[in-house]
Structure 1
């Protein structure tokens, strides 16, 4: 099927087709579909080009040239960002790569493409609930703004800095957010979850490289890995000491997509605590030195 599509497109100007496809997807979206406020008058339905450029972390001028069919062929990284910004399904994402003259990545996880269903939920929660999406190896591939303020920026970092298992065992700053008595339990959970993810992806070079780096970089990780514990992520209570708003008792609920294995983690206030008020304070402040 992929070869047939490439043959059909062989006599077309790929850049024009690519631009038309991007415009079609942009016109089909509404601000609320991507977590933006719908206010303000718009000359046409759909999102503006500058909004897509912002979501994809590229310049507006570059995106305009892509839609107009006069830009250079985008890289695989840019294509992945566009697919996420435009909330493409897996089939649409594959078509996007073919139009750009590239082979689609073989799985969601290889280019950090977010499960579309989880992405819609992430957008819907953006105003009030910190939430993130990670793959089954612990790599954070999407965060809403409140989650960035809560945990710091992961999703836009290069690998392995965007992986929460790697950061936990190699960056002491990550642990300062959590009370010390939780450190062992959290570390064991990260390792058990990574083992479960690796079991689903045998002989995956990227997964094996991450494991090798962790074993070299952390004696604590090697010790926990030797326990052979395996578990999928589950809902837990986490007590944080945030540098901006103080103590937070949060219920971390996990929703796993059966089709991709990606997990959404929602950080909700523990009933009977003031965590809700503190999260509201964090949202009101909008920026925090920890998140930069």
Structure 2
């Protein structure tokens, strides 16, 4: 089996900069991603990626391997190979996957003008673009376990950005709890999911109330009003798009062309985000997961 660093380098050379969201400039010598670009996408230091490729850093954590697999847009088979080469067991079937397929990443990259966040079945944020950071805040400033929307709503996670929802906050909470109930029915052996539900039922009366409710609450497209520190009140259409087969939720925020809210998004794109075609970036503005 190839060494971890050999796989990392080979797959980095294979990935097109454009598919990862980078603009390839004339005279670019790297056949694929530069080491700095991979580090940026995976949320790691360039020095650490270099040491991994050279075999000077050993025993990367499952979190690091998962981040690298997403950044490199690996298939499930390749992801599992990367885990094994690091001496780790790949994620088990029957548990919630944080793997974001290359096709989903390419789609999100091509929609760079739109704030996009990709969530797993338990509402953990695993991928986002520069416009998401500009609108919501930088998720990379948070520990991984705190990038969960349910924890932000009901538990000890970071507070959500100040927002109002078209159908009311109680309905928003109910829809998230309904999604978690559905996830538990489909992933009964997922330890992280079971711990999340157990913690929130103990910590939050609101969560416990929604959990025992018999009526199902489903997500619908709705408008949300976000109170942004730079541009003030901004009213946007929020859509949750499902990715069948990957069990992911792609959350998008848009505004009708020519409206004041669209102008505010444009301003955020210029002042805090990146123009269309740029890679997912990190801005220093901590915020909640949604």
Partner of 1:82: 68
**Structure 2 vs 1, CA of residues 272 and 200 (structure 1 numbering), >3 Å: closer, same or farther?**
farther
Which piece of structure 1 moves more, 88-97 or 221-230? 221-230
Partner of 1:139: 124
The residue correspondences of 1:25-36 to structure 2 (distance < 5 A) are 25-36=11-22
The residue correspondences of 1:241-260 to structure 2 (distance < 5 A) are 241-260=227-246
Tell me the SS of whatever aligns to 2:247: coil
Cα separation, 2, equivalents of 1:268 and 1:150: 11
**Structure 2 vs 1, CA of residues 160 and 102 (structure 1 numbering), >3 Å: closer, same or farther?**
closer
User: Is 1:154 the counterpart of 2:139 in the alignment?
Assistant: yes
Cα separation, 1, equivalents of 2:225 and 2:159: 16
Tell me the SS of whatever aligns to 1:74: coil
The residue correspondences of 1:52-91 to structure 2 (distance < 5 A) are 52-91=38-77
User: Is 1:188 the counterpart of 2:174 in the alignment?
Assistant: yes
The residue correspondences of 1:112-261 to structure 2 (distance < 5 A) are 112-126=98-112, 128-154=113-139, 157-158=142-143, 160-170=145-155, 173-174=159-160, 176-178=162-164, 182-261=168-247
TM-score, length-scaled by structure 2:
0.85
Tell me the SS of whatever aligns to 2:182: helix
Which piece of structure 1 moves more, 204-213 or 224-233? 224-233
What's the offset of the Cα at 1:61?
Answer: 2.3
Cα separation, 2, equivalents of 1:19 and 1:159: 24
Task: For CA contacts below 8 A with separation 6 or more, give which structure has more relative contact order.
Answer: 2
Aligned length: 277
Cα separation, 2, equivalents of 1:133 and 1:233: 15
5+ long unaligned stretches in structure 1: 1-8
Which piece of structure 1 moves more, 276-285 or 231-240? 231-240
Larger helix fraction of residues: 1
Cα separation, 2, equivalents of 1:178 and 1:40: 45
CA contact (8 A) 1:33 1:123 kept: yes
Partner of 1:39: 25
CA contact (8 A) 1:77 1:111 kept: no
What's the offset of the Cα at 1:67?
Answer: 2.1
5+ long unaligned stretches in structure 2: 273-282
Please tell me whether Structure 1 or Structure 2 has the larger radius of gyration of its CA atoms: 1
